[in-house]
Each structure stands twice: as C-alpha cells, then as structure tokens.
Amino acid sequence: MTRRLTDEMWSELLEVRLRRPESIGAALAARSRRELLGPSGHLFIVAADHPARGANGIPGDPMAMADRRDYLERVLTCLDDPRVDGVMASVDVLDDLAVLPGAGGWSALDGKVVIGSMNRGGLLGSSFELDDRFTSYDAEALAEAGFDGGKMLLRIDDADPGTLPTLVAVAEATSQLAARGLMAMIEPLPYRRVEGRATLVKDDDALIRAIGVASALGTSSAHTWMKLPAWGDVERVMRATSMPTLLLGGAPSGDPEADRAEWARALAVPHVRGYTIGRSLLYPPDGDVAAAVSAAADVLDAAVAAKTRPDHDDRFDLG
C-alpha cells in the first residue's frame, strides 16, 4: 500500500521546520476556509491533541502515538475522507498539517473546520494533572490563525485543588472566544483520585453535574458547544444542556461495532451534532484507518437522514 505521507512530503515538512518556518504562517493565512456548519447541521471532527499532554497510549500500546510521522499519516488519512469536516488538534499538529498537502488542496487544512486545543498543561499521570493550564492556543491566536474555535478540557474533582484554577481559566477563555464569535468547545468530565491517580468517573449523575457547571462558564454561552461521552443513559445525560454537542470517542474499546452502536444511539438526540473522535478512528483494531472513518461517517449520515425524515418522532423534547 502506498504511504499517504510519502518520503518526499515528510522531507519537505522537515525542511520547512528547519529552513522556512515562516512558511507555516503563510500557509495558514492562505488556506481556504468554509462555514462552520454545512447543510446537514452536523460536524465530523478528528481529534489529534493527546500527545500534547503526554498521553501517547492506546490499550495495549503505551507509546502508539509517539511516532509523529505515523501519527500525521493517520490524521491525513482521516482528512482525506470528504465527509470529515475538520480537525481539532494542538498547535504543533496544526502547523504540520498546514504545510502538508491534502487530498483536495495544497494544504491539508484547506476547506476544513479547524479547532485549536487550548489547555494541555494537565500532563497525564502528574501530581498536577487536574490543574490544566493553558499552554497552547489562546483566543487571540486562534482568531489570528483564521481558525473556527478552541477546545478546552475541564476535569472536575471536588477534592483536587487544581480544579478551581482550571474552572477560572476555562471561563476566561470562553468569554474571549465568544467575544470573537468563535466556538468554545468544552469537554467537562467528572474525575476523582484513585490510589493517587486521576481517574474518570463513569457516572451519569456526576457527568450531568459537570455539564451544568461547564455550561455556565464565561460571560456568554452563545458560542459554547459541549464535547461529551455517549455512555450510560445518554438521553437523560444530554437533557442537562441545550447547547450543541459533539461526541467524544475515548480510548478504543476493541469493539468498533459496539462503539458505533453507542454513537448512533446518542446521535438520535436532537442537539447531538456529530463527533470529535480521535484514537478510536486513528488506531482501529484492524489498522484500517480509512475504513474506520468511513464506517463512522456512515453512522452519522444515517443519523442525519433519520432526523430529517418528515415523520421523525422527536422523543427527546428538552421541554
């Protein structure tokens, strides 16, 4: 199989990094842009920001994402599918993609929705993991780059003092993004320390509480979107907000069909408007990234078609 990221492309990227770093800014300024939402009113976004907070692993391989060329190749393969609307990534990945050629243009970011990952300071496994400082983009930089918004991770643990400064920082960034008309994508998740390690709490009530906290951050919620998991009683969980919501994928479960069934169930909720999925697509069990992306796109297409049927029964009326 021909490599998506050829030796020539990789060498050119390394040369740009070494000798022509100004080309990155020029590529960002020149890229073609699109409206945030297309006719379907849904988004399919690939997530590529895990290594920026020291999270390189997937189940069975703790360093799967440590090979940058392989990682970029997987992201490019996702973006090649015309049904993928865009990418959410850290600054280094987006700078690389800006100068790598895409399937439909001279930049892989041409015509794509681009969301910058903002707070990557909560390093995986660190004692300060939940004090998730903003170490990447700020709202001003996202606007200058011509991006569509910023994503923020908000892990809430009532017993961890790092939660409070993260709450304040996310609120400030949400205000700054709203003032510029940019999406504030917030990923609120309940956490607690288990044997000293920050651990996700997979509990509907805890997630609903976190959604309520995240929804009220900042001086305006007009441009706030939620990024949420599809576990448990998803219909009940999604009633906690009126905001547009994208589903996160989480770590690959090893059962892609079960994952897609879970996504399909959540996508039936009216304000669940697509995906922001990373590892589940980038590292499928069989290694076929293109097939994993296509299968996820099929699920989203089916959900959009069901929502737009004239006889569609809206079972999830938020009123």
CATH H-level, domain 7-307: superfamily: Aldolase class I (3.20.20.70)
Q: What is the pTM of this model?
A: 0.94
How far is C-alpha 270 from the chain's CA centre? 20
50-104 confidence digits (pLDDT tens): 999 999 999 999 999 999 999 999 999 999 999 999 999 999 999 999 999 988 7
Does pLDDT of 318 surpass 50? no
Residue 107 reports pLDDT greater than 70: yes
- Ramachandran region, residue 247 (left: φ > 0; alpha: ψ -120 to 50; beta: rest): beta
> Per residue in 129-181, pLDDT tens?
999 999 999 999 999 999 999 999 999 999 999 999 999 999 999 999 999 99
pLDDT digits (tens, 9 = 90+) for 109-139: 999 999 999 999 999 999 999 999 999 999 9
Query: Which sequence spans correspond to the domains of the chain?
Result: 7-307
Query: From CA 118, how far away is CA 139, in angstroms rounded?
Result: 9
Alpha-carbon gap, residue 166 to 256, rounded angstroms = 33
